[in-house]
Structure 1
């Protein structure tokens, strides 16, 4: 059972969303809680990495599963809590994709933090999906209309 699930419809094909997901160094462009993110290897199961949150906390992570252009799952540790993040997408039409991010809060002391973490993760993940949608749609439109670049307004938001 997931503690948090958020969904959004994106007017981009799955391949565009996959490019964004699989490039961890670009995570701060759409995940506003992250200041830096990197993997110590390829985007594949078993690869470890780390994200540094804007509040300075370091969050070690491991890619657990990857299904090309469909989903990936990673685990992370934040203080004394284990988190499992599931990222999935479903093509709705050639230019529209449903994106679903879920999180599970685990670990021996997770019951102490589950309530506040659910609330915080719901807000953070919803914002991240809004930003992901904007970035994917901007990039899709730039491909459809060559010469179109990311707007200054969007870049200021991120």
Structure 2
């Protein structure tokens, strides 16, 4: 039986969505704001279908693919670890009064998803806070 784990978080920022997108679409910045990521190597542009390797704290390498890319607004990356699939959806929208809202949703499916989910998402609030801090500092 396959398990599913879901986690979502939303933060607001005084930075425009474009500043958040600039950090998201430049994978060399990911280790700066996401404590669980040591490195990301994509075999192509930041576009749908691009694949590569993400080195997570540990360190261990996992295959990563970009499943959805809507420039300036959203991307969804997928990590595959055997039968376990981690999909992380990142959405940023400008707010009418200025600044932006950032939502990151993680869905993990496969054996042991309920057990690994809390570990995978434990640093998500810190990563989002650091992302916003860096975007506001641009």
TM-score for both structures, normalised by structure 2: 0.90
Q: Are residues 1:124 and 2:132 paired?
A: no
Larger RCO of the pair (alpha carbons < 8 Å, separation 6+):
2
Task: Say which one has the larger Rg.
Answer: 1
3-state SS in 2 of match to 1:129: helix
Question: Larger % of strand: which?
Answer: 2
Residue 94 of structure 2 corresponds to residue 95 of structure 1: no
Moved over 4 A (4+): none
Q: What is the match of residue 104 of structure 1?
A: 107
In the alignment, is the contact (CA less than 8 A) between 2:5 and 2:117 conserved in 1?
no
Which residue does 1:22 correspond to in 2?
25
Q: Could you tell me how far apart the structure 2 residues matched to 1:8 and 1:58 are?
A: 28
RMSD of aligned alpha carbons: 1.7
1:2: how far off? 6.6
8 Å contact from structure 2 (residues 5, 113) kept in 1: no
Shift of 1:54: 1.8
CA deviation map 1:54-81 (0-9, x unaligned): 2111021000111111101111113541
Instruction: Return 5+ residue gaps in structure 2 as ranges.
Output: none
Indicate the residue corresponding to 1:73 in structure 2.
76
Alignment TM-score, normalising by the size of structure 1: 0.79
Question: Deviation at 1:121?
Answer: 3.0
| Structure 1: runs of 5+ lacking an equivalent | 140-158
Is this contact kept in 2: 1:26–1:37, CA < 8 A?
no
| Alpha-carbon displacement from aligned partner over 1:92-117 (angstroms, at most 9, x marks no partner) | 1363111001111113x2xxx22332
Q: What is the SS of the residue equivalent to 1:69?
A: coil
* 1:31 paired residue number: 34
Return the structure number with greater helix share: 1
